[in-house]
Amino acid sequence: MLIRKPADIRPSEITSKSNYVNRRSFIKAGLAAGGGLIASPGLSAVLPREPRAKLDDISPSPFSTDETPTSYEDITTYNNFYEFGTGKDDPHRNARDFEPWPWTLEVEGHADKTGAFHLEDFVKPYALEERIYRMRCVEAWSMVIPWVGIPLADVIKTLQPTSKAKYVAFRTLHDPKRMPGQRRRVLDWPYREGLTIAEAMHPLTILAVGVYDEVMPNQNGAPIRLVVPWKYGFKGIKSIVGIRFTERMPRTSWNMSAPHEYGFYANVNPNVDHPRWSQARERRIGSGLFASRQPTLMFNGYAEQVASLYEGLDLVRNY
């Protein structure tokens, strides 16, 4: 099994409700006011604005794999980010002049604390962690990426969703002037994604703000993106500006575009092929063109941690 964790962490401890909800004592400063834009001094101490700037006070995570990370160059030059073009090298070229500051996140729906928040205030109450995750793309390639982020569960706990909140929906910035890929009707913009509330509360799910201990590169989803390591890459929505707590399953961009190819759950599953290619094997980016493909692991190697989320669910029908 490629994904490893310290021997003293049992799967039951990782997936328990107490871990979902009470993983740390939440700091309510910043978001506690609930709604309205909040002034925030000392931005550079939270999220630097300069490209390649280092992030401070990052703690290692027990959820990280011990696999060798993919190189920074590969991670930042081989990307899927259709807002900046459909080619794998388009985002690296076309996102260079994208300016992700200032940035505002709007929280809506079934939660006690909603409103518009400056990104720095949204992130400031939480400790940053390095999460080295194995990420699998639907096109049968993968990377090992050292993300820097905060557990989404921490944020959700602070926002206090109501009992009606069964799903969490996300929305990407829609700005064709700044995102040239949106000038083409490749998808129904803005990009939209969603998770069940249980998936969103799982401790493996994070909101990432950096990679390799540096501020998030534009082409990787600056300034904040979703990372869900047991799902295919298109679930990792980038440049998030909206979060909505909903009672019904939200519509998602690729599912709307090609529902017979892309489902809502999008769990990595070697037993369910994409209609146009097999998902049974994958190629690790950076391993060379002639490297042999390796078997795809169920839930991308995180089965022990997340399989309980889908007990009783037909994973072939609910792909």
Beta bridge partners of 214: 54, 211
What is the predicted pLDDT for the residue at 234? 98
Closest CA to 268 of 308, 229, 226, 312: 229
What is the predicted pLDDT for the residue at 3? 38
What is the predicted pLDDT for the residue at 289? 72
Q: Which helix (H) or strand (E) holds 128?
A: strand 128-137
Query: In whole angstroms, how far apart are CA 223 and each of 164, 208, 209?
Result: 29, 8, 6
Domain ranges of the chain: 11-39+54-310
What is the predicted pLDDT for the residue at 224? 98
What is the predicted pLDDT for the residue at 46? 72
What is the predicted pLDDT for the residue at 292? 84
Q: Within 10 A of 49 (CB to CB), how many other CB atoms are there?
A: 14
Regions in the chain scoring below 50 on pLDDT: 1-45
The C-alpha atoms of residue 231 and residue 198 are separated, in whole angstroms, by 14
Pair 132, 60: CB distance under 8 Å: no
Query: In whole angstroms, how far apart are CA 98 and each of 84, 122, 179, 217?
Result: 10, 21, 8, 10
For residue range 138-190, what is the model confidence (pLDDT) as tens digits? 999 999 999 999 999 999 999 999 999 999 999 999 999 999 999 999 999 99
What is the predicted pLDDT for the residue at 70? 98
What is the predicted pLDDT for the residue at 69? 97
Residue 126's SS3 state is coil
The C-alpha atoms of residue 207 and residue 1 are separated, in whole angstroms, by 26
What is the predicted pLDDT for the residue at 290? 75
The C-alpha atoms of residue 85 and residue 74 are separated, in whole angstroms, by 17
Alpha helices in 28-172 (DSSP H): 72-77, 90-94, 119-123, 152-159
What is the predicted pLDDT for the residue at 13? 39
CATH number of 11-39+54-310: 3.90.420.10
Q: Phi/psi at 54 (nearest 5 deg)?
A: -80, 145
Sequence-separated (6 or more) residues with CB below 8 Å from residue 138: 232, 233, 234, 262, 266, 274, 279
What is the predicted pLDDT for the residue at 11? 40
Q: Is 36 exposed, middle or buried (0-12, 13-18, 19+ CB in 10 A)?
A: exposed
